[in-house]
Structure 1
Amino acid sequence: MGQAHSGEREAHMSHEALTQLLARKFAQKCFTPLELYELKDVFRSLADQEQQLRYLKEDTVAKFLEIPDVLGVSSVLFQMMSYIGAFPFLSDAPAVLGWEQMVMVITIMTERYKRILAQGAADRRKLLFNSLAVHDRKVSHLHAGEDAEGRLGTEKMMDSRATPVPQASASAVDEPGDEQADSEGIEQEDGLVLAALSSLDFVEAFKNEKRTQTEQGSAMIPADNFRKLVMLLLLSAPLGPQERLSLHAARLVGEELESLRSTAECILAAFLNVETSPGIKSSRFNSVLPVSLPFLFNGFNSLFEHFLFSKQSDFTQHKDESGAASRQPVGAIGIPQPLLQEQGSILNLNVLSQLSFFIPGETLFRRLRLLYSGDDDGFSMGSFETKVFNWRAPTILLVRGSRLEEDGPGFRASGNSAEANFTASLPPRRFPTGSGGRTDSDTLTFGVYLPEPWRHTHREAFGGEETVLFQLEPIHDVFHTSSLNTDRATFTRPSGATEHPGVTFGCPPPGQPSSSYGHHKSGVKSLGPVSLVLDSSFEFGCFTHDYSSRGGAFRGSVARNFDFQERFAIQSLEVWGCGGDEEARIQAERWAWEAREAEARRKINLGTGDIEADRALLEMAGLIGGNRSGGSMA
């Protein structure tokens, strides 16, 4: 009887009452008592009041979070908050940001909802899409003709050069009216809503929610809005607890601001071609984000946690020598270490934030050391080996170059014999470039995250399952390892026995072509379906994406479902070590040991002609014997 009466009572509860009930549960379960106290204090200090209603305005939020005016992103962020504030009744959006609504916003933006909604959606991706999307069928129809015309030429080019595959093309997913794909996105978002209402033992309210298929089909994120948001996320990515966004103001002026905007443009290019598409559709958003940018929105965690630290509170009190309490400035957290100890030719703060969108930030920020730079150490495999091989932790290789001219019948490599030799070492088949319409940029940046130390390649390649191959410029793209083979990384010095020395990722070791890569022609290097090749002189590189093949050591792109290849002249090459002082100490000790060994070898006078006598001399010096080889004496 009690349950029946309870069910009847809840069936007549209003959206407002259920929202208050859920907000109360979120507040109790997702925040500590101190955090809840601080949140209430912050809300009271910021809220405007109209009759009995207290709420937050857009400019108030922007000022409190220190959102830079130059980004023009305040309205985009407030739109997101107003939508998420209506949770779980999202059809009521936009919501006035009162107390209950702000509890919803902070719980979801900081991912604290996972503490009580274990059976909800795996992340907030679907919810965030709809918070950014606009529903305007007129806009979709206005650009539909332009999209079709722009796609026609691109698709003809792809069809003539690549084998069709049974997957949607990169342009097709941006077409307006993709109701089926959008419906799937809505249903997955509903999983989070259902979990929230289920936690209240009340699901009937959700069944009464109605959203038309027309709204779903017309939903898209405007390209300009997303660009502004990505610039904010690049800026906020390294934020720590209580760290103010204004500390990074230097990244918003002059060349730094242009670099920030350029990096955001590369990320935007992973979702759409801005010249032919007005916005990002949910199907595209949901396919690219989890693979190429899984940590894109992590910067919101620290940003929105500022609502949990009141400026009126001061937890930094300490006593001076006289025993009297002294106070540090509110919000002081000391002077943090720089995010990057030194900037390289390729890696700067914006590229560092871009890397943190798919490599966990705790392994990057304040933990990268420049091990090798071609500009400073010379473009040679010898200097590369000397600087990199002793690092006993993960590394990140970055290479930047300029695209080589397209070759064809009668093509000669600009009279450059080195370029001609490099071109001749590659298979003659040439795919189109992979810029996706961004022909304005001939600068290419690729990289590899390698989780294990470097070593020489003998019979087998190296590199663990966490190895990641990626492109940063002009399009952001990420290629994770597959289970088809383990030809992830090779490092082969030039020698008479090696036909194609150099550094490769996704290719078989030199001299041992795998049958899975197709026919191997003598004198021509075997390229993996998804692979990066750097020649032994570090002058040229080649990235191949053979999407129509069965795949290889790395998976194909989710952003570009077609064949392409980029051949480029290397301009910069650098390797960064992931780790701290301990890793640097071990490397320094290894360098010192090698220096002592080299000095000991130099002082020993060999060449007497008596091999046994020379061997005995080396054993007395401690250079061979036991576990030491000392090299061949024969």
Structure 2
Amino acid sequence: MGQSQSAEPPKEVPIEQLSHELALRFAGKCYTHLEVAHYKDNFKTLADHQEDVEYWKEDTLCRFLALPEPLKAGPVLYQMCTYLGAFPFPTLAPCILTREAMLKVITIMTGRYRKVLRRGDQDKVKLLFRSLAVFDRRASMPPSKEKPNMEDLVNEQLPDDMLKEREVEKGLSSHVSGFAIDEPLNDDEDEDDDDLALAALDALDAIEVFKHDYKTDRKINHAMIPVENLKKLIMLLLLIAGIEPLTTLGIYGESLNEDGRLQALSASADAVISAFDPDPNTHGIRYSNFVKTITTTLPDLFEPFSALFEHFLFSKNINLSKHRGEPLSSGTETIHAKPSPIYKSPEDTTFSTILSPTLLSQLSTSLKISTSPTSSSPPLKTIFTSNARFNQLYSTASHGTSLSSFSRQIFSWTSSTLVLINGIHDNQPILLGAYLPEQWREKPHPLTSDSPAKYSSLFQLAPRHAFFPANTYNRNIPYSYFNNKTGIALGCMIPPATSRTGPPPPPVPGAVSILIDGDMETVTFTHDGAAGSGAFVTDPNLELAQQHNPSTTQPKKLTFDLDTLEVWGISSPAGGDAEDGEDEITKQKKRLKWEEDEAARRRGVNFGGDKDGARALLEMAGLVGDKHGNRSGGSV
């Protein structure tokens, strides 16, 4: 831009015009012409009209996205959209969801804005907080005999043309009703300038507008996200985890009819909410807690929104074959949801008492896994994008509480594993686990900088969600350790043996560690940042809560009785096991069958064809599981 043009004060350009230009920039840079055509068709087909205003109402948005009514997440999502649609000008929010406003919402939710605004995801987190944040006017305003009209307060901030649009119909107001606390605002008490908004204004060569518009809406007290609103949104995100751009949306609402699914979503959402440490008095979540928790503990919490809003870019009304004489493009065909990653063998008579689709969805908010465990730098993907399959290898419910049974089922698995442990502590369910990308070994390999083990992690899913990634500087403490005398240790220090004939010394809990004793009866979970460096890193949010609220937060070290232990083998259809036509679970079964036959042969057992008697003996020895699903009687 020349000097004569840049000398003109940018503030004289109406922000409505700049908002329009940004929408055009998004449309031209972030989408193909075909995607824009699909979007326009979807929007126009369902839009309401008042004079020259074409817009979407809340029920239109909910109907298009097939949001399940029992979750009651529609008003919360609509509130977010009416804020994001005004980007990057908060004084225009809440806005009417016109075609341009909705396009900006889609661009932000899908992350496509990066093609124009090259900023990090943390800036998007700030924007999402503002879209959810509200403030209690009753707490922020002095007592008054006459309560001000809320809509008047909103309208005072809107330009004239927006006011005219609002007046075309009484029901056209974008103000989100039905909330206990009023409307979205910007709480930036501990925040720097919004880099994403600055990037948008910079792209429009209107950076000075920031001083005249954006900063007028900063430093507002009492801004927070109400827990009840965020919980509804989290339940929706957990329900649609793993969604794809072409997945039929209605099937997610149908899954709520499954026994206990709604209750499971509520329980998982409560655990996730706890990670934000809501204010016990206001029942709200402040900006600093929100950003810190999303960036450290729950980095993929909002990931399902990307595929959900991609649905706007596929219209069933546009048939490419009409124009090209070819079969209908697969880009316009809806698909059903993928089969559950939790694999259940048809011959299984027992099944998981811990792992469920909801818990897997909750885990996907934090955990990324490797699909190439033998590689020193494997690609890390989310649970659902990796196409991984979870195969149950061991469960105390079906294989018993014998360490010999555990070792037999686990050590023959050559890929990564997922460990789940539950019990009761202080009359409250507790659920812990670990992701281990390397094969279990009795003697762990030396740790190196290029070992896949550096992607190991511990996690807690109840009563509070917490995540503990591997300490990449760790070179001394094994991430996993097994001994048939001392038990199972995750992140524990292993003292050197003092005698060749005597019992080995027990593992020493690390700063973040899980220890299951040799009798498989007791679990000790340690999370103590003051204990120094360990195999796993502390969760900063849990550590802070332990320091500031020790009376209401779980202790740094807790011990509870083991209820159920499960180990799941992780396999990938795209892995190397497909080369010979057999997947990892088939190979696992063959290895176990060979070991069972070999064990019988070595013992010289001859039952004259009495297979039932042979199996009964092996069950008592702890070499095979009880075919009836009871715990085996093997002992260490």
Q: TM-score when scaled to structure 1?
A: 0.74
Q: Which residue of 2 aligns with 1:350?
A: 358
- Contact kept in structure 1, 2:187 and 2:224, CA below 8 Å: no
Give the Å deviation of 1:216: 3.4
Q: Secondary structure at the match of 2:251?
A: helix
Q: Distance in 2 between matches of 1:290 and 1:349?
A: 24
Match of residue 583 from structure 2: 585
**CA 1:328–1:219: 2 relative to 1, 3 Å:** closer
- For 1:491, the aligned partner's letter is Y
Change (3 A) 1:594 1:443: closer
Separation in 2, partners of 1:181, 1:330: 41
Deviation at 1:233, TM superposition (A): 0.5
- In structure 2, distance between residues paired with 1:206 and 1:233: 33
C-alpha spacing 1:570/1:74, structure 2 compared with 1 (3 Å): same
> 1:603: Cα distance to partner?
5.4
Query: In 1, are the aligned partners of 2:300 and 2:365 still within 8 Å (CA)?
Result: yes
- 1:198 aligned onto 2:209: no
**Per-residue displacement from partner, 1:243-302 (whole Å, max 9, x unpaired)?**
133212244245211111111111111112575442000111111111111000001011
In the alignment, the residues of structure 2 paired with residue 470 and residue 444 of structure 1 have an alpha-carbon distance, to the nearest angstrom, of 11
- Residue by residue over 1:131-190, the C-alpha shift from the partner in whole angstroms, topping out at 9 and shown as x without a partner, is 000023644799xxxxxxxxxxxxxxxxxxxxxxxxxxxxxxxxxxxxx99434352xx1
SS in 1 for 2:213: coil
Residue matched to 2:304: 299
Please give the alpha-carbon distance, in whole angstroms, between the structure 1 residues aligned to 2:474 and 2:328. Answer: 62
CA distance in 2, matches of 1:139, 1:203: 34
1:135/1:215 contact within 8 Å kept: no
Cα distance change, pair 17–278 in 1 and its aligned pair in 2 (3 A): same
In structure 2, list runs of 5 or more residues that go unmatched: 143-185, 345-350, 368-381, 499-503, 547-554, 605-636
Shift of 1:205: 1.2
Cα distance in 1, alignment partners of residues 520 and 321 from structure 2: 52
- The whole-number CA distance in structure 2 between the counterparts of 1:329 and 1:5 is 44
Q: Please, what is the CA RMSD of the aligned residues?
A: 3.3
Alignment of 1:464 onto 2:464: no
Q: Deviation of residue 469 (structure 1)?
A: 0.7
C-alpha distance in 2 between matches for 1:252 and 1:278: 27
Q: SS of the counterpart of 2:384? A: helix
Q: Show the counterpart of 1:568.
A: 560
Return the TM-score normalized by structure 2.
0.74
Aligned residue runs from structure 1 range 244-259, under 5 A:
244-253=248-257, 254-259=259-264
1:458 CA displacement: 5.6
Equivalences for residues 211-230 of structure 1 within 5 A: 211=215, 215-230=219-234
User: Which of 490, 495, 504 does residue 480 from structure 2 map onto?
Assistant: 490
1:19-53 CA distances to partner (integer Å, 9 max, x unpaired)?
A: 11111110111111111110111111121111111
Q: 1:181 to 1:34 in 2, by over 3 A?
A: closer
Secondary structure at the aligned position of 2:302 is classed as helix
Contact kept in structure 1, 2:390 and 2:569, CA below 8 Å: yes
What stretches of structure 1 of length at least 5 have no aligned partner?
143-179, 318-322, 404-438, 496-500, 514-521, 607-634
The share of aligned pairs that are identical, in percent, is 35
**Which one-letter code corresponds to 2:191 in the other structure?**
G
Residue 54 of structure 1 aligns to a residue in which SS?
Answer: strand
Cα drift, residue 334 of structure 1:
5.2
| Alpha-carbon displacement from aligned partner over 1:468-518 (angstroms, at most 9, x marks no partner) | 1110001101112224534242333325xxxxx2111121125479xxxxx
Q: CA deviation at 1:390?
A: 3.1
Judge conservation of contact 1:341–1:366 (CA < 8 Å) in 2: no
Q: Deviations over 1:84-131 (max 9, x none)?
A: 000011222111111211111000000111122124554511100010
Q: Where do residues 77-92 of structure 1 align in structure 2 (5 Å cutoff)?
A: 77-92=77-92
Q: Aligned match of 1:237 in 234, 241, 246?
A: 241
Question: Which residue pairs with 2:493 in the alignment?
Answer: 508
Contact 2:412/2:592 (<8 A) preserved: no
Question: How far does residue 384 in structure 1 lie from its aligned partner after superposition?
Answer: 2.2
Count residues with an aligned counterpart: 514
CA gap of 1:483–1:2, structure 2 versus 1, over 3 A, is closer
> 1:341 maps to what in 2?
343
The answer to whether the 8 Å contact 1:505/1:531 transfers is yes
User: Residue in 1 aligned with 2:408?
Assistant: 386
Query: Given residue 365 of structure 2, which amino acid in structure 1 is its aligned partner?
Result: F
Q: How does 1:13-162 map to 2 (within 5 A)?
A: 13-119=13-119, 122-136=122-136, 138-139=138-139
Q: Distance in 2 between matches of 1:241 and 1:537?
A: 48
Asked if the contact 1:445–1:471 (Cα under 8 Å) also holds between the matched residues in 2, the reply is yes
For residues 171-210 of structure 1, what are the structure 2 equivalents within 5 Å?
182-185=188-191, 187=193, 190-210=194-214
Check whether the contact 1:109–1:304 (CA below 8 A) recurs between aligned residues. yes
Query: Structure 1's 377 and 20: CA in aligned 2 closer, same or farther, altered over 3 A?
Result: same
Task: Report whether the alignment pairs 1:547 with 2:545.
Answer: no
Q: Closer, same or farther in 2 for the Cα pair 1:596/1:327, shift >3 Å?
A: closer
Match of 1:264 in 2: 269
